[in-house]
Amino acid sequence: MIRLAWPWLLVALPLPWLAWRLLPPAPAVSPPALFAPFVLAVFGDRPTTAARRRRWTRVLAALVWLLLVMAAARPQWLGEPVELPQTGRSLMLAVDASGSMEIPDLDLSGSEANRLAVVKEVAGEFIRRRVGDRIGLVIFGSQAYLQAPLTLDRTTVANLLAETEIGIAGKETAIGDAIGLAVKRLKEVPQGKAALVLLTDGANTAGLVPPKQAADLAAQAGIRIYTIGVGADRVVVRGFLGSRVVNPSADLDEETLEYLASATGGRFFRAKDKEGLAEVYRRIDELEPVATESLVVRPRTDLFVWPLAAALTLSALRAAAALWPRRPRREAHAPSAA
């Protein structure tokens, strides 16, 4: 449908008529000093033709004024209503890409897979579910890097996570630096709207910022930290002397991860397989629910350029007609009688 953004400007429509009715007429032009009756015959300016031309000039002027007022009233085309989810929370995901994430102690689609491959699939689905949230991504190893700033483009963040390779940020684990970088990006978010989901399979072995100090900074900024320890705790290894059971997650510092969560009002989760990791992210969905309210908007397209262009075109044609030289009209004379 079409609507006028500023309909009150239509009150300007009768202004030319009011000016014509209320203002005094322009002073009359003095008669010509020399009256030449043959001029009318030469130039063909008959009274009826002049009156007709004045009438069409008034009609054209009225049409141009109408188009100008319509353009000033700003006509718009309103499209179909569209529901947009309101922006909810700001979530930063910190994912460990150190060398230990290459341990193949998890199962993916019925086959053995390393830890990062499982995290990519499960965390990618978590990212796509967060409709209306701003999502960011930090990848850390020996250093922490901002892979994606906070954005509503969840598909791009999920793709960046899927392209992450083991060792891209170094072989060690800088948990404290990852938290510090995430806090730097989340500190401007309003209280209660920001959270960090940190996933690792080890302990802090690199970096400049101790994890507990980084957690204190997060708590001061009102940022909740949800920590996830990933990795199986029991794997059968076959060797020359037979099979033995080992714990591939022996290096996981659960105590520090629990402190990071409790100090900031978050939770610590332990994921030992793909199903357990998927359940962890579902629990985080419950603790940090997605915004359910939506905002209904109607796309608007301005149409004022069309009446404005029409008014300018008519004005240009009228000006061209006034400046164009007229050819003298030749009158046909009847033959005189002999």
CA angle 45, 50, 55 (to 5 degrees): 160
The kind and range of the H/E element at 238 are: strand 235-239
pTM of the predicted protein model? 0.63
Tell me the C-alpha distance between 54 and 291, whole Å. 65
Closest CA to 89 of 267, 228, 288: 288
CB contact at 8 A, 269 and 280: yes
The tens digit of pLDDT for each residue in 152-207 reads: 899 999 999 999 999 999 999 999 999 999 999 998 888 888 999 999 999 999 99
Looking at residue 286, its amino acid is E
The pLDDT of residue 121 is above 70: yes
The pLDDT value given to residue 118 = 95
Tell me the C-alpha distance between 10 and 22, whole Å. 20
Residues in the chain: 338
Helix axes 254-264, 175-186, angle to 10 degrees: 20
Written as six digits, the tokens of 151 are 């954005």
The tens digit of pLDDT for each residue in 295-338 reads: 677 788 888 899 999 989 988 888 887 777 655 555 445 455 44
Tell me the C-alpha distance between 117 and 277, whole Å. 12
The tens digit of pLDDT for each residue in 201-254 reads: 999 999 999 999 999 999 999 999 999 999 998 776 676 666 777 888 889 999
